[in-house]
Each structure stands twice: as C-alpha cells, then as structure tokens.
Amino acid sequence: MKTADLSVPSSVKELIIKSGIVELYPPQEEAIKAGALEGKNLVLASPTASGKTLVAELCALRHVLEENGKVVYLTPLRALANEKFDEFKKYTALAKSDGKRVRIGMSTGDFDSTDPWLERYDIIVTTNEKSDSLLRHRAKWIDEISLVIADEVHLLNDAERGPTLEVVLARLMQVNPGIQILALSATINNVDEIAEWLKAEHVTTEWRPVTLKEGVLLNDEIQYKDGDARRIEKETRDPSLNLALATIKSGGQTLVFASTRKNAVTLAKKFAGEIEAALSKPAKRSLGHDAERILAMGERTRISESLAEVVRRGAAFHHAGLGGGHRRIIEDSFRQGKIKVLTATPTLAFGVNLPARTVIVQDYRRYEEGYGYYPISVLEYKQMAGRAGRPKYDKYGEAILVAKTADEADYLLESYILARPERIWSRLAVERIMRSHVLATIAADFAHTEQGLYEFFGKTFYAHQYDTEAIKGLIAKILKYLYDEEMIEVFGEDVNATRFGKRVSELYIDPVSAVIIRNSLKRENACLTDLSLLHMIAHTPDMGPVLRPYSHEEDAIAVFAEEHKPEFITDVPAEWEDAIAYGEFLGEVKTAMTSQAWIEEMTEDQIIEKFRVQPGDLYRTIENAKWLLHATRELGMLYGNRQFLPLARELEERVGKGVKKELLPLVKLEGVGRVRGRVMYNAGYKTIEGLKHAPIQNLTNLPLIGPKLAKKIKEQIGGFVKKDTWEKLEKGEEWKQKALTEY
Ligand SMILES: Nc1ncnc2c1ncn2[C@@H]1O[C@H](COP(=O)(O)OP(=O)(O)OP(=O)(O)O)[C@@H](O)[C@H]1O
Ligand SMILES: [Mg+2]
C-alpha cells in the first residue's frame, strides 16, 4: 500500500511522504485494514522497528483533523516521550478545520499538578505515571480525550509500571466510554487476552524491515542464531570492547546495556579509554563541544564531570540519574554519530530509535534488594536487542549477549535468543500498589461506593485475567485501613475521600507515608530540627530502601542517634526489644545523615566517600527527599501546623539545591547551583541586591562564572550590560572556547 492511497487528509500524506515514507510496511497496512483509521480499538503486536508509531501518528491526526478530537500518547519512559514528541512536532505545520495549527504538547514532570496549559494541545505526549497523576487531579481536559495510544503495552507485565498503565487505561475507558484505544506491543503470546480486555481487534506480525542478527559472544567468537559464526579481532582482553571496536571500524555505533547505573558508568569509562584513538580530529573537536555543553548546563556535579570526560573521548552513559538536559545532549550526539559507544541502563530499552548497529547485552541478570540476582525476561531482552538495526539508520543490526563460559553461551542461546517471549500477567494485586490506586479511585471520584470500587477494578486487566473476586478481599482490607486512618468517610453506601485523603491521592504518595507524616505533624515537638524532618521522611516507604550502615559505621550511627534522640518525631524502636526494627531505624538515620550532609554543602565526592553510598543511591535519596518534603509541606498546610510549615518549606528548597540556608536567594537564579552560589557568596555577593550593583567584569572574574552566565545573571536581576562591554566579553568567550577545544 502506498502512502498516497491512505484515507487521511492529503496534507498529512504530503508530510509523511516528505519524511521519506512512500510505502507502508506490511504491519502498518494490516493495522489499517483492521480498522485503525475507522475508530476501532486495536492492539498491534509487531516486532521492534516495524513502524508501529506511524499507525499511531495516522490515527492521531485523523482524530485531530477530522473529528476535532484530542489525543494522549502514553509512553513508559521519558527518553521515549522526548523522541515521540520530536517526531510529532513536524505535524504542527498542519492546519485544523478552524484554521489553527495542530498543537503538540509534552508533560512528563512534577506529579502534583494539573497542568491546565495542556488543555491547549491537540496531541499530548506523556508518561504513564504522569497521566495517572493528571487523572488523580481530574484535570478538566481529560474528558475531551478521544484517542489514547498506549505504547509498549506489554509493560503491563512490569511490576512497577504495569499497574499504573492498566489503571490509567481503565480510568480513561470509564471517563470516556467512546474513546478509541490503540495499543502498541512487542510480539507476545497472549495478545488476544489484552485485546479482549480492551475490547479491541488485534494484529500480530513477525515482520521486521531490517535484518537483526542475534548471537552470543564468547571470548573472541560470536555464535549466531542461524548457525553462523564470526571472529572478532582481539585488540584488547575484553571481548565486548573488541566487538565495539570492530563496529566502529565498520562505520557503526554500539549501544551497551548494563544492569546498574554504576556498571553503565564503569563500562563507559572503560570503552572511552580505548575508542579515543579511533576518533578523527574534527570528531574530537565536536565531542569537545558536547562535553563543554554538558558542563555548562546546570551545576557541575560528579556525574556531569565524568559524563563530559567520557564524551570527550567518544563514549557516554545514559541512566535515570542524569538530568533531562544531559540526557538530551547524549541522545542527540549519539544520533548524530558522534558518540560511538553508549552504555545505558534499561532507560533506553524500549521504543527508541537510535543508530546502534550493534547492541551488546552485557549482563542478563539484575539485582534487587532483598531478592538477589535474577535473569531478565525474554521480553526485555528482545526489546533491548531491538534497538539495533533501525531502518532510519542502518541496513542491518546485531544484538549480542555476552557469555563467560561455553555452558553459559548455550544457556543464553536457548533461554533468550531461541526463546519466545513470556505471557503477560497483570501485576496489580499487590497491597502497596493497590492501596494508592484504591484511594485515588475514590478521591478522584471514579467510584463512590464499595460496589463501585469493585466495578472499577473489575475493568482492569487483573480482573480480566483473574476475575474480580480475586481482588475483593484485598480491596476490603485497604478500605478498612483508609477508613481507620481517616482518608475516607462512609455514609451508608457512600464512600468519600476526606480532605486529607484527597490531598494524599493528589500528592502521589503511599497512604502509609502520609500517615507517618500526619502523625508526626500532630505531635507536640519540643525539639524540631532539620534532622527531625529528614529522618521522618526516611521512615516512609516512599523513600525506598534505606541506606544500610556498614558494620563499622553502626556504632557511630547509634551514638549519633542517641545524642539526637529528642529530635526524632517518630517512635524510636528499642535495640533490645526489636533488633530488626532497630537495624532499619539506623538505616533511616544514615539516610537522614546523608541528606543532611547534602544540605550542609558537603561535596558529592565527600558524601560518597564518607557514607560509602553509590552515586545512584545518593541521587535517588535526594530526589525522593525533595518530593516527600513537598508532601510534608502540603500536608502541613492542611493541618495548619505552624511549627512544621516554615521548616518543611525551607528544607524542600535546600534539598532541591543542596545548600545551606544562606545560599537560598542566590540559587534561585537560573544557572546558579550550589557550587557557583557558594563562589559568589564567598566573594561577598550575598544577596540579589549586592549582585545588582556588582560590575559585570567582577562577576566574570569569579571562578566558574563565564561572561555568558554573568550576563544571564544580570538579565535575571534587572541589571544592565552595555553593548560594547558585552561584545568585549563575548570575544573573550570565543577565544576561551577555542582554546578549550584545541588543547
Ligand atoms: N513505511 C515506512 N517506510 C520507511 N520507514 C518507515 C516506515 N514506517 C516507519 N518507518 C521508520 O521505521 C523506524 C522504526 O519505527 P518505529 O519507531 O515506529 O518502530 P516500532 O515498531 O515502534 O518499534 P519498537 O517496538 O522498537 O518501538 C522509524 O525510524 C520510522 O521512521
Ligand atoms: Mg515503538
């Protein structure tokens, strides 16, 4: 089928043809024949790179241009949301029936907000979590959605993301029974079951536009699925590295999947050391620019420094601990062919189009706290493998698992390469997860009786697979908890959320965390300090696993806890009565001490060394602390606690920036973080007023503050820079940039 023959407005066809797509891929044709453009619900299950997005694009544009509808595109990952947003942007050239242009929006951030500005957009790209949160706020425009696209719907099987996705779909179906659902999936065994749940047609194909060779690397030989084998030149002692070097020689790029953030960073460093020699001079110069951009963006951190360092040498790492801006630079630079090897955690496993001729799956095991190592699913392996050989970039691709022994090589061939992906199971019926969804269902008025709740959860994939009875007991137990903790009220048949319950649901925190916060808020606290709040949030389940003390630290932490005992605002377990609870408590104290070190302006390196935490854990702790302090402040407003509120507000800001109180006014300026703020403060620029009066040359003379930033600061505070002063500064900057890239 030709693009020109599609039954969509000709302006759409022209744009698609202009982007290079003149003929549809077979899976696309099948999807259209199955009624995707006639408003039918559809599950399209088709291999990686088989062009599922185009079907979504066509459907979306039909809704917007012909039906005056509104579209939501759900993705499981931010990197994927970025990519889809960029791809959809070309359609803003189209005009709707009212003459206005098609508008594309993206929303992936801050969970406690309704983002009313999204109302203006026709197509909204978002993450599953963000849309769950928007639904909890009952954002008004949600009722106008006429098409929902669920990308990577097989992630229903993911313990964390899956439940959110199925609840979001169930809610959208309830809000708007006429909504069209288009679900895009990898090829899985039980597509029909998902389709039945969504009352959808399904199309399954095995077609892939670009050949993907899968194999196992053992020492210097790759054994492929089809019986072929290939020797890799042994340039170093590391087989993966040799494979990446061979790929570079053939003009390609490599994407390496690592099991943890730490491994991703270590691998990138290792690769960078070897590939540098293979880079041309202009390539190095250009990478130098990227490295400088990384350093100039936001505050310098240990992560941004090591990222810049590896980028300079042609490698990079990508994980959830990186800032959005940094991730963008890396993704773009890899797409432009500059970065030769990119190491990533599963943040890049799903959906993205990258020029990776070779994908290396470095480790097929994952580690989970309290669970140990376990092998990843076939489905996840196939997704990672599918990042290789994307039609836009390569004519072929290969995906390679790394084995250490011949026995392991056999196992990998059998269990991954030749294996079929698993069935998809709903992961909803877990108390921790259901607690929050039950409350949200009542609070956002998706149900207001017990019966209504059963009916709502009766629409989930879980109920479809296991029937509603299976989940009733759990719901009843959760209802009792929510009632006892005053998050819901019951009048006869009616179940309503209290103000507390509603706020908890919107804040997107676990009701158990909210109870801990509320109970602490209600106490009379004679001795309320930073530590009080930092420990209290570390005690909530939303903080995630606590930072466990090493045995050599235990005594010191126990002594610290004893000395600060009056400051704790949750019950402190007695060591001799409950050793397990006490051990957990010490972990909470260590977590709090780590956050405290952060806001006392200890450097990241010092924190990592002192507490022996992984950088990833440090960032997670800081991120979660920020979010939980926000929740604390909001709940504090509800309870009107005068003692808590100012402290919670101040700590939220301080944790966000990692600064002492005195730096708060300075770090509000864009481009100024904890390090630059401290430089300015120590140089005597302690207030905005002081900065206003400072001659710009004095600012540029400070370490880490170049002319660009100095001008940006002046612009923000209303200072004026003369044109000729600026020109002089700019010349200086150009010279500096040149010097930086040449040496
Ligand atoms: N008919 C076509 N002709 C040429 N190229 C196409 C066609 N359809 C899609 N493409 C290109 O194929 C690439 C892969 O498409 P897409 O990202 O939609 O794959 P996918 O099926 O969603 O894969 P995944 O399961 O990995 O998400 C894109 O770069 C897209 O532009
Ligand atoms: Mg896709």
What residue spans of 147-238 are helical by DSSP H? 161-175, 191-197
Q: Examine the pLDDT at 352 and tell me if it is beyond 70.
A: yes
- Cα(256) to ligand 1 centroid in Å equals 21
For ligand 1, whether the C-beta of 185 sits within 6 Å is no
pLDDT digit string, tens, across residues 680-691: 999 999 999 888
Q: Which residues pair with 148 in a beta bridge?
A: 72, 181
Structure tokens at 472: 């009733």
Residue of 116 and 202 predicted with greater confidence: 202
Confidence grade of residue 722 (pLDDT, cut at 50, 70, 90): low
On the question of pLDDT at 111 being above 90, the answer is no
* 307 touches 222 (CB < 8 A): no
pLDDT reported for residue 645? 87
Task: Tell me if 669 sits within 8 A of 717, measured CB to CB.
Answer: yes
Q: Give distance in angstroms: CA of 51 to centre of ligand 2.
A: 7
DSSP class of 424:
P
Write down the pLDDT at residue 204.
97
Return the residue whose CA atom lies nearest to atom 16 of ligand 1: 51
Q: Which atom of ligand 1 is nearest to the CA of 3?
A: 1
Q: How far is the CA of 145 from the centre of ligand 2 (A)?
A: 21
Residue 384 predicted with pLDDT over 50: yes
CA of 401 to the centre of ligand 2 (A): 22
- For atom 14 of ligand 1, the residue with the nearest CA is 49
Q: Which atom of ligand 1 is nearest to the CA of 50?
A: 21
- State the distance from the centre of ligand 1 to the C-alpha of 568, rounded, in angstroms: 55
> Measured in whole angstroms, how far is the alpha carbon of residue 97 from the centre of its chain?
36
| Rounded Cα gap, residues 711 and 699, in angstroms | 9
pLDDT at 342: 98
Helix 615-639, helix 644-657: angle, nearest 10: 160
Number of neighbouring beta carbons within 10 Å of residue 43: 28
User: Which pLDDT does position 140 carry in this prediction?
Assistant: 86
Query: How far away, in angstroms, is 157 Cα from ligand 1 center?
Result: 23
Cα(54) to ligand 2 centroid in Å equals: 9
- Determine if ligand 1 sits within 6 Å of the CB of residue 49: yes
Does any ligand 1 atom lie closer than 6 A to the CB of residue 351?
yes
Ligand 1 centroid to residue 289 C-alpha, Å: 31
Q: Are 248 and 278 in contact (CB under 8 A)?
A: yes
Of 134-138, 238-242, 404-408, 641-645, the poorest mean pLDDT is in: 641-645
For the CA of 393, the nearest atom of ligand 1:
29
Q: Give me 378's structure tokens.
A: 């076939």
Q: What pLDDT sits at residue 739?
A: 39
Q: Which amino acid is at 555?
A: D
Q: Is the CB of 84 under 6 A from ligand 1?
A: no
Q: What is the pLDDT at residue 354? A: 94
Rounded to a whole number of angstroms, the distance between the first and last alpha carbons of the chain is 55
**Which ligand has the shortest distance to the CA of 1?**
1
Q: Give the pLDDT band of residue 740 (cuts 50, 70, 90).
A: very low
Closest Cα to atom 9, ligand 1: which residue?
51
Contact 421 CB / ligand 1 (< 6 Å): no
CB atoms within 10 A of CB 341: 31
Instruction: Provide mean pLDDT across the span 412-425.
Output: 95
pLDDT higher than 80, residue 640: no
Residue 643's pLDDT band, with cuts at 50, 70 and 90, is confident
Relative to the alpha carbon of 56, which ligand is closest? 1
50 Cα to the center of ligand 1, angstroms:
5
What is the total residue count of the chain?
Answer: 743
Give the span between the Cα atoms of 240 and 232, in whole angstroms. Answer: 10
User: Is residue 3 in contact with ligand 1, taking CB distance under 6 Å?
Assistant: no
Give the mean model confidence (pLDDT) for residues 215-220: 97
b (16+ CB within 10 A) / e for 456-486 = bbbbbbbbbbeebeebbebbeebbebbeebe
391 lines ligand 1 (CB under 6 A): yes
Give residue 53 CA to ligand 1 midpoint distance, Å: 6
The finding on whether 587 has its CB within 6 A of some atom of ligand 1 is: no
More confident residue, 518 or 545: 518
**Ligand lying closest to the C-alpha of residue 49:** 1
Instruction: Give the chain's mean pLDDT.
Output: 92
Does residue 738 register a pLDDT over 60? no
Which atom of ligand 1 is the closest one to the Cα of 87?
Answer: 31
449-489: per-residue pLDDT in tens?
999 999 999 999 999 999 888 899 999 999 999 999 999 99
Confidence band, pLDDT 50/70/90 cuts, at residue 743: very low
Q: Whose CA is nearest to atom 15 of ligand 1?
A: 51
Instruction: Give 10-67 pLDDT, tens digit per residue.
Output: 999 999 999 999 999 999 999 999 999 999 999 999 999 999 999 999 999 999 999 9
- Whether 310 is in the pocket of ligand 1, judged by its Cβ within 6 Å, is no
Calpha distance 136→242 (Å, rounded)? 50
For ligand 2, the distance from its centroid to the CA atom of residue 716, given in whole angstroms, is 41
- Give 722's contacts (C-beta < 8 A, 6+ positions apart): none
Q: How far is the CA of 552 from the centre of ligand 2 (A)?
A: 48
What phi and psi values does residue 597 have, to the nearest 5 degrees?
-60, -40
CB neighbours of 256 closer than 8 A, spacing ≥ 6? 240, 244, 264, 267, 271, 341, 342, 343, 344, 359, 360, 362
Across 103-208, where does the E strand assignment appear? 104-107, 123-127, 145-150, 180-185, 201-204
What does the pLDDT average to over 699-708? 84
Inter-residue contact 699 to 712 (CB < 8 Å):
no
Q: Are 212 and 397 in contact (CB under 8 A)?
A: yes
Give 309: exposed, middle or buried? Use CB within 10 Å, 0-12, 13-18, 19+.
Answer: middle
pLDDT at 737: 44
CB 92 within 8 A of CB 215: no
State the distance from the centre of ligand 1 to the C-alpha of 710, rounded, in angstroms.
Answer: 44
pLDDT band (50, 70, 90) for residue 550: very high
Q: Does ligand 1 come within 6 angstroms of the Cβ of 48?
A: yes
Across 118-123, average pLDDT: 92
Q: Is 649 a residue whose pLDDT tops 60?
A: yes
Regarding the beta carbon of 146 and ligand 1, being less than 6 Å apart is answered: no
Strand partners of residue 449: 494
Check pocket membership of 51 for ligand 1, CB cut-off 6 A.
yes
Q: Whose CA is closest to 51, among 198, 257, 205, 254?
A: 205
Could you identify the atom of ligand 1 that is nearest to the CA of residue 351?
27
Q: What is the percent of the chain where pLDDT is above 70?
A: 96
- Residue 445 — φ and ψ, nearest 5°? 60, 40
Instruction: Read off the tokens for 394.
Output: 């390569």
Among 439, 422, 445, 433, residue whose Cα is nearest residue 162:
433
Tell me, in angstroms, the distance from the centre of ligand 1 to residue 185's CA: 13
Q: Name the closest ligand to CA 58.
A: 1
Q: Is the CB of 1 under 6 A from ligand 1?
A: no
- Picking from 226, 222, 227, 152, the residue whose alpha carbon sits closest to that of residue 194 is 152
- CA 3–ligand 1 middle distance (angstroms): 14
Residue 615 near residue 305 (C-beta atoms within 8 A): no
Q: Which ligand is in closest contact with the Cα of 50?
A: 1
- Using CA atoms of 109, 113, 118, 123 in order, give the dihedral in degrees to the nearest 10: 50
Q: What is the pLDDT of residue 730?
A: 62
Pair of tokens at residue 33: 């024949």
**What is the CA(57)–ligand 1 centre distance, in A?**
11
- What CA–CA distances, in Å, run from 76 to 134, 149, 161, 223, 349? 15, 12, 7, 33, 11
Q: What is the pLDDT of residues 122-176, one digit of tens each?
A: 999 999 999 999 999 988 889 999 999 999 999 999 998 999 999 999 999 999 9
CB-count burial class (<10 Å; 0-12, 13-18, 19+) for 382? buried
Which of the residue ranges 78-82, 182-186, 193-197 would you say has the lowest mean pLDDT?
78-82
- Determine which residue's CA is closest to atom 4 belonging to ligand 1: 21
Q: In the structure, what pLDDT confidence band is assigned to residue 736 with cuts at 50, 70 and 90?
A: very low
CA distances in angstroms from 688 to 384, 502, 684, 685, 694, listed in the order given: 49, 39, 11, 8, 10
Question: Ligand 1, atom 8: nearest CA belongs to which residue?
Answer: 51
Instruction: Indicate whether residue 24 lines ligand 1 (CB < 6 A).
Output: yes
pLDDT at position 741: 34
Q: What is the pLDDT of residue 733?
A: 53
Residue 729 has pLDDT above 70, yes or no: no
pLDDT given at position 245: 96
pLDDT tens for 437-446 read 999 999 999 9
Name the residue with higher pLDDT: 731 or 407.
Answer: 407
Ligand nearest to the CA of 350: 1
Q: If you write DSSP's letter for every residue of 376-410 in order, what string do you get? A: PPHHHHHHHHTTBS-TTT-SEEEEEEEESSHHHHH
From 80, 353, 379, mutation site for ligand 1 pocket: most ligand atoms within 8 A of C-beta: 353
Tell me the CA–centroid distance for residue 156 and ligand 2, in Å.
15
The residue whose CA is least distant from atom 1 of ligand 1 is 24
Mutate which of 1, 50, 359, 393 for ligand 1? The one with the most ligand atoms within 8 Å of its CB, which is: 50
For residue 19, the ligand 1 atom closest to its alpha carbon is 31
Task: Compute, in degrees rounded to 10, the torsion defined by CA atoms 594, 597, 603, 608.
Answer: -20
